[in-house]
Amino acid sequence: MSPERYQRINQMLDQRQLDLTLCLENVHKQHNLAAVVRSADAVGVHDVHAVWHCKKSRISGGTALGSQNWVRVHKHRSIDDALQTIKQQGMQIVVTHLSDSAVDFREIDYTRPTAILLGQEKYGVSEQALAAADQQVVIPMLGMVQSLNVSVAGAVMLYEAQRQRQLAGMYQRPQLSEAERQRVLFEGGFPQFAKLCRQKRMAYARVDEHGQIDASDDWWRQMRSTQSLSVSD
């Protein structure tokens, strides 16, 4: 890995916001999924939660521009599973929904641990999600339509969260553990080696302060053997 890439990845990781996330409830259109993850990466979100009924659903395609490689997408079988995971992390759940109790999305304190919940393109969020939400919000609309595209709504709310967090100095306080930093450095700096490690269930090697692999002779012997097997297969 070049020194420039090593520095760029570390700068990105220093600003990752572990206590800000998105939860996508049955958002199924690929361009919307990709756009949401791209926006999440842009504002420093490290993890996104997605509820998909289709087993083959995944983030891919040109719209994401590779952002899916830097944002972890956790797949859940049900909205209850996703919400339980988020609640266990002590996050407030903010959902976009037009109702009498909804407030302007800018009135929310996003410096608190926060999960922004976005619903399915046509029908919005489920009753279970609404019941679990701590706050319902609306994005003011001055035109004839009553809602934004789900990916646009997500981006608008994320950038309000970013604005508040920047003012609070939260992007100047690195949050990632060393183990998670090492994982991202290895996968982002050495993707082919990372793929081989996963195939053979080998542990990732450490990335040193110069952005190079720091591994034992035994690790390198296993890796060379793995490469040979991969070629012969």
For the chain, which residues make up each domain, given as ranges?
17-172, 178-232
Give the pairing type, strands 206-207 and 213-214.
antiparallel
Token duo for residue 210: 């110069």
d(CA 92, CA 115): 6
Superfamily (CATH H level) for 17-172: SPOUT methyltransferase, trefoil knot domain (3.40.1280.10)
- pLDDT above 50: residue 164: yes
CB burial of residue 48 (10 Å; 0-12, 13-18, 19+): buried
Q: Reply yes or no on whether the pLDDT at 53 is more than 80.
A: no
Percent of the chain with pLDDT over 70: 89
* Tokens found for residue 10: 């570390």
> In the beta sheet, which residues pair with residue 115?
21, 93
Instruction: From 218, 171, 213, 215, select the one nearest 190 (Cα to Cα).
Output: 213
Do residues 83 and 91 touch, judged by C-beta distance below 8 A? no
CA distance 28 to 51: 9
pLDDT of residue 45: 97
Higher pLDDT, 1 or 147: 1
The annotation status of 148 as a binding-site residue, yes or no, is yes
The SS3 assignment for 213 reads: strand
- Give the integer Cα–Cα distance in Å for 95 and 67: 24
Amino acid at 69: N
For the chain, what is the mean pLDDT? 88
CA neighbor of 50 nearest in space, from 42, 62, 58: 58
| Strand stretches in 61-141, DSSP E | 72-76, 92-96, 103-104, 114-118, 135-138
C-alpha distances in angstroms, 160 versus 148, 154, 157, 165, 173? 16, 10, 5, 9, 19
**Between residues 230 and 70, which one has the greater pLDDT?**
70
Radius of gyration of the chain (CA): 20
Q: Which of 199, 56, 208, 210 is nearest to 223 (CA)?
A: 199
Q: Per the annotation, does 59 bind a ligand? A: no
What tens digit of pLDDT does each residue of 6-24 get? 999 999 999 999 999 999 9
In single-letter form, the type of residue at position 231 comes to V
pLDDT tens for 76-131 read 989 999 999 999 999 999 998 878 888 999 999 999 999 999 987 677 788 888 89
The answer to whether 139 is a known ligand-binding residue is yes
